[in-house]
Structure 1
Amino acid sequence: MTLADIFEINDPICIEPAFMDCADNEYTRFLLDGDYSAAKLLVDENEDPMAAAFLEEGGWTVTSFVFRPFSVEVLERFEALDGDIYQEERSCYLAALREYYCGEIVKEYPDVIEDNREGRYEMIESLFDSLNLRQDAGAKTESPLTAIDFCCGSGVATSVLRDIGYETLSFDCDPALISCGIQKKRLIPSRAMCLDGTRASDFCPKCNLGIGLMLGDISNFNADMWSDIIYELFTLSEKTIITTATKPEIEMVAGWCADEGRRYKIIENDRDPIYDAWVCVSEE
């Protein structure tokens, strides 16, 4: 289901240029500056407002309140236009919103270079099997186990997680890699985002498993940035798997695990000595 389907409109354009901008209150002000002739308000299953669409001369403009507070001024504009109210599950709207922005990314980056190398999928699959992730995903539960792929690149690890039974959510800060993953069918547009990892908890729900593969280069120079990303990973995930190329890097990760009071173990991995030579598995 797309934003157009949800609002029953043609060719909607989000006023926020990028997914992360949906958290910026400035776009509420931009919206209120418009001249509109019709409006639609979208509420979730709890009847909380989560988005609105306004019709202006150039077409329908959509704005989202799933990551920022709803505005009384927006409600007043909606009521003044005698707008229509629509209802949808929040998870369905979020999926449509992610799909919209992924579509915009693919339009902006149509020509991509394949960054996956032969055998990478199998190396990750073997590592995950050795850590019993397939067994965990196959356990009888009321709903599928959830996983977030931090710094997902073009989505090779995401595709492995999905194939072994996890419900995945993925993000990377590089839109070209997101575009590549979508075009290569490793990333699903409704389950992928272009995000700054230091703000992951603003946009992602908690999950059973969080992974960060091929992290690095982690050094004293950029340790603050990486620690912020990895602390976000810890905040969101019950179990976390992080891989690095070198032992000093994984030892820094282990230190951050200890700082957060997480139980952890370090494993040397010979499946991919270039990127995943060292593995840190931690739990809350």
Structure 2
Amino acid sequence: MTIIASLLRNAELPDSPTARLDVELLLAAALGKPRSFLHTWPERIVSTEAAQAFAGYLQRRRTGEPVAYILGQQGFWSIDLEVATHTLIPRPETEMLVETALELLPGAIAHRLLDLGTGTGAIALSLAKDRPQWEVTAVDRVQEAVELAERNRRRLHLDNAQVLHSHWFSAVEGQRFDLILSNPPYVAASDPHLAEGDVRFEPSSALVSGPDGLDDLRLIVSQAPVHLASDGWLLLEHGHDQGPAVRDLLLGHGFEQIQTRRDLGDHERITFGRVSC
């Protein structure tokens, strides 16, 4: 017989920077319990079936497969999301987009928002949940991502959001929004990090954007003005060294009040600007 404390003590994930957290998440999932259960009942006997499931999870993690893909879910902002291998795993730094959007727009007004390249729907659905009076549109060019985001939307019962199949702005021609935001692909094609860590398992189409990583950012910035309402905002996540380039892009396309914010690692992470009246 094996107890929870023994499994936690003996599990090894030598190549994971978050080994302890990974082990706890995987064991909790194998048991069908929250992580708090592990520490509340460390002497609880683990069934053979749960122990085998945990062993399988550990083996997959040792190959580098992200925990979110193993478990099929990931928390983001105030919601839990289904995730799959055809979308990026939502990351904590992307929550800055949600936080900044909530700061930029008055909460009591029925604003219209557009999330470009929504993936799991993390950004759009977080905003729709926090601001039920807003109308949020989420788009993605990958049909499987659209279906995934729609499943998340339905599970969260967010009737003020819609998910559309669209290559950037193609499905919203003629529409204008008070705020457009995006976490687009922004990794250079030659970036060595693409062959390292969890990123190896994520879809390159959601990561890579040309030789310098700026192809999609250029397209979004150039096309956004005709889709923004008067005094509308464009809010973008980008690479840690791309802040100057994104600021130049926004300035070159008539944006004003341009600002950049840094993430917890003190890297320039999001940049935003406003179209003139």
TM-score, normalisation: structure 2: 0.49
TM-score, normalisation: structure 1: 0.48
